[in-house]
Amino acid sequence: MKRGLATVGLALAVAALAGAVLIWFIGESPLEVYGVLLENTWGSSYGIGQVLFKATPLIFTGLAVAVAFKVGLFNIGAEGQLALGSFVTAVCGALLPRAFPGPLAVLVCVAAGMAAGAALAGLAGALKVRYGAHEVINTIMLNFIVSALILWAGNAHFFVKYTTHTRTIIEGATLRHLGFPGSPANTSLLFALAFAGAVAYFFARTRRGFEWRAVGLSRRAAENGGVNVAAAVIGAMALSGALAGAVGANYVLGYKRYYEGGIGGGVGFMGIAVALLGRNHPAGIVAAALLLGTLSHGGLAISSLVPKELVEILQAVIILTVAGASAYRGGFGRRRAAAATTPAPAAAPAAREDADG
């Protein structure tokens, strides 16, 4: 635990330093920029609301990536899963009859989005189980495919003419704002926290959660212990995709009230940083999502001084540092577990384990 916190601290320090160099490179003062960033986030109730609004989808995608990690899988397709999920959520919200009862409408729309995300990621899981095709390549390919297909389906059927957004969802499916003046932070945050609790409970307390963790630690040992590894891989990918698919609750039901091309862009990749910083633990993920939510909104606030891509760069630096530092100390289970179980493209030691066995 201590070592884990040290790794996180190191990652943040390295990121802050790298950021300072980049800010200095374009001729601004790092201290001033960081100051503006903090002031515009935690310095006002609007800022806090915006941080919560940005953190909400990051909790979903952070959980999504973490669930896959726990089972020895790497879902980098959250980007496509959340796009499809948001699209389906919006279409569902627009198609429901006006009189549909409120809370139920929300549930139906979120469930539809989650099912879409689950199907997409589950496909990558199934391809892995059936053909040994690596989920990293397939989920990335699905990102490209899905964004094209949404555009096609939208243009053909669902977009309002001459726009790239769907019709507005019914009143009943709209989520309430949390009451930060001017900020669309909404009650989907409560969904996110509930999911975090559920995921924590699932892995810590249920039999299936235990089995899935066993698959993540050693696929072969789990198999010998009687765990259905194929079901665990597909199931974990589907759950991961479902969590990413829930992002539409925040952007569609709580904010825009329709789907628009590019909604939630980047949030899927940020989920990787959130999961790693949060060390795959739901409580850590919530904390990490708040931190990256701060960066995310802060990045907009400083975009007159520094290109907003600074935030993406800092995330990448954080991921690299966490991955490097935890492996180097030899204290973080993932590397050793990874050596035994996490597949490299096709190459996966695990894929071979299956073949040998």
Partner 1 sequence: MAELWSTLLSLAFLSQVLRITMPYALAAMGGVVSERSGVVNIALEGILLMGAFGAAYGADASGGSIAIALRDGVAAGVATAALYGLAVVTFQADQIVSGVAINMLAYGVTPYLLKALYNSSSNSPTIEGFGGHLFDNPVFWLALLVMAAVHVVVNHTRWGLRVRAVGEHPEAAHTLGVSVNGVRWQAVLASGALAGLGGAWLALSGSGFVAEMSAGRGYIALAAVIMGSWRPLWACAACLLFGFAEALEVNLQLSNLGIPNEITQTFPYVLTMITLAGFIGRSRPPAKLGQPYSAR
Determine, following the binding rule CB under 8 A, whether residue 201 of this chain makes contact with partner 1: no
Q: Which amino acid is present at 100?
A: F
Going by C-alpha positions, the residue among 21, 25, 59 that lies closest to residue 296 is: 59
Determine, following the binding rule CB under 8 A, whether residue 346 of this chain makes contact with partner 1: yes
Instruction: Quote the least distance from Cβ 339 to partner 1, whole Å.
Output: 5
How many CA atoms does the CB half-sphere of 82 hold within 13 Å? 34
Determine, following the binding rule CB under 8 A, whether residue 108 of this chain makes contact with partner 1: no
Among 151, 221, 290, 305, binds partner 1 (CB under 8 A): 151
Among 4, 132, 261, 331, binds partner 1 (CB under 8 A): 132
Instruction: Quote the least distance from Cβ 110 to partner 1, whole Å.
Output: 27
Give the residue with the Cβ less far from partner 1, 240 or 315: 315
Determine, following the binding rule CB under 8 A, whether residue 156 of this chain makes contact with partner 1: yes
Among 175, 178, 285, 319, binds partner 1 (CB under 8 A): 319
Instruction: Quote the least distance from Cβ 136 to partner 1, whole Å.
Output: 6
Give the residue with the Cβ less far from partner 1, 127 or 169: 127
Determine, following the binding rule CB under 8 A, whether residue 345 of this chain makes contact with partner 1: yes
What are the tokens at 150?
């949404």
- Contacts (Cβ under 8 Å, ≥6 apart) of 83: 143, 146, 147, 150, 263, 264
Going by C-alpha positions, the residue among 108, 115, 90 that lies closest to residue 259 is: 90
| CA distances (Å), origin 44, targets 4, 57, 198, 238 | 31, 21, 31, 39
Determine, following the binding rule CB under 8 A, whether residue 276 of this chain makes contact with partner 1: yes
Are residues 230 and 129 in contact, defined by beta-carbon separation less than 8 angstroms?
yes
Among 2, 25, 207, 357, binds partner 1 (CB under 8 A): 25
Between CA 93 and CA 172 the distance in angstroms is 9
Determine, following the binding rule CB under 8 A, whether residue 316 of this chain makes contact with partner 1: yes
Determine, following the binding rule CB under 8 A, whether residue 315 of this chain makes contact with partner 1: yes
Between CA 11 and CA 5 the distance in angstroms is 10
Going by C-alpha positions, the residue among 273, 242, 205, 222 that lies closest to residue 125 is: 242
Size of the site for partner 1 (CB under 8 A): 60
Give the residue with the Cβ less far from partner 1, 110 or 295: 295
Between CA 139 and CA 72 the distance in angstroms is 15
Name the site residues for partner 1 (rule: CB under 8 A). 22, 25-26, 74, 76, 127, 130-134, 136-138, 140-142, 144-145, 148-149, 151-152, 155-156, 269, 272, 276, 307, 309-313, 315-317, 319-320, 323-328, 334-335, 338-339, 342-349, 351-352, 355
